[in-house]
Amino acid sequence: MRTRTKIVLFGLVVAAAGLVYAAQQPQVKTMVSGWFGVKPAERQGARDRAIPVVAAPATIVDVPVYSMGVGTVRPANSVVVRAQVSGRIAEILFQEGQDIRKGEIIARLDDALYRAQLDQAVAKKAQDQAQLDNAVVEFERLQRLAGNSATTQQQVDNQRALVAQYKAQVQSDQAAIEAAQVQLDYTTIRAPIDGRTGIRNVDVGNIVSSGDSNGIVTLSQIQPITVVFSVPQQDLARVNAASARGPLSVDAFADDGKTVLASGRLTVVDNQVDATTGTVKLRAEFANETLALWPGAFVNARLLVETKKGVLTVPSAAVQRGPGGTYAYIVENDDTVHIEAIEVAMQDDRMAVIAKGLKDGDRVVTTGFARLQDGAQVRVSTPEEADPSRMAVPLSDESRSQRRKGGGNRNNQNKPASGDHAPQHGQRPEPGAPAQEGGEQSPGHHRQNGTPPSASTPPEAGGGDTRKAADATK
């Protein structure tokens, strides 16, 4: 038992001595350097080089202030055209999607029944008119007889009442004629407003009535057209104050938030705030000459509330936020940057209005923050060059040549190569190189994740010497 322990201890001592000896060999130093892809001097130079950034100047401009909201396009007027009397559709006189003027005929119903009713009312009036004429003649005769005391006053009064009765009957007949005429006119269905027809709901031959829910067709006025949108109740005071000064401009944007579909004016501010959403409804009217707005569509509405004159602005990308508040990186004349605390008055996705901390002409960094710190040396460049994904440390020409020779082939990892250094397996690839085929990842990949390759892994030759020493001990 003691002999085995001594053998193990002796083997460990010999192995440690072998590792120390191997570490002093030039080939091993070259291998370790190859794992990291560059020489120590080269890595130091890469850290000290200027950081590429994109910068933009702070400028003084006039900034419009908007209130934004999502809205729905609605026709200025919309009517479901229905028949006002019952009947069979005899004729349809419009095309689907046609622009129609007010009063134009849309459809006709079979009017035979209503024409007969009109004729009947006219005949009834003629009958009653004849009775009235006869009663008037009789009344005048009785009045003459009463003057000669040839008849009684009661007969005269009775005849007078009969004349009044026939007059009322004739007036009723006239009203019946007018009602029958209206019913007959209703068999011709006309457009109540200017607008565009939609898809018709019935065809010729169908029986329609005033109680039909779908009607014959929907007529919508789309020139002009309106947009109803909502804004936060916090904007209501500014909107009311601005509208008191004059008409307010409203722009309607497409879904991308960039394409202006139409420009119009604010017409109505609702008289109450929605207690559920905390918003207030507004309505804007658009001429819609190009028909870019269509009923039922959703749009982004932008209401111009005011314009701030001569304010200092920077791109929104320049505004950074941290535990101490908002700040920006200012590029000095010597191409170094320093951190400056700023106060932002207002900001959107494109521009920020700066109330304090910058002055006109200051250059602020907008892209390339990944490695920035106060006092860092920078190089103002293009957005592509300042892309963080392109800022990895490149390989030196010598290291790149060694990588091409070695190729990371496991079968050649112990074979010497011509030149000063033999390429080692696991040498770091060029920045941005993908993982090796078959799912094997290069040591450089582990280094990027904070786990450098172990420098204690010796080549197989070193391991072989240790095993031989242990066998000799046995």
**Which residues make Cβ contacts (< 8 Å) with residue 30, sequence separation at least 6?**
420, 421, 422, 424
pLDDT band at 146 (very low <50, low <70, confident <90, very high): confident
415 vs 229, which has greater pLDDT? 229
**What are the structural domains of the chain?**
2-38+393-473 (no CATH), 51-58+319-390 (2.40.420.20), 64-85+92-102+193-306 (2.40.30.170), 111-186 (1.10.287)
Percent of the chain with pLDDT over 70: 71
pLDDT band at 5 (very low <50, low <70, confident <90, very high): low
- Mean pLDDT, range 432-453, rounded to an integer: 36
pLDDT of 286 strictly over 90: yes
- Render pLDDT for 35-78 as a digit per residue (tens, 0 to 9): 444 444 444 454 457 899 999 999 999 999 999 999 999 999 99
Mean pLDDT of the chain: 80
446 vs 110, which has greater pLDDT? 110
pLDDT band at 173 (very low <50, low <70, confident <90, very high): very high
- Render pLDDT for 403-438 as a digit per residue (tens, 0 to 9): 454 444 444 444 433 334 333 333 333 333 333 333
pLDDT score recorded for residue 381: 84
pLDDT of 442 strictly over 80: no
pLDDT band at 150 (very low <50, low <70, confident <90, very high): confident
- Mean pLDDT, range 4-9, rounded to an integer: 66
pLDDT score recorded for residue 465: 42
pLDDT of 149 strictly over 80: no
- Mean pLDDT, range 20-45, rounded to an integer: 48
- Render pLDDT for 342-393 as a digit per residue (tens, 0 to 9): 999 999 888 999 999 999 999 999 999 988 999 999 999 876 665 555 554 4
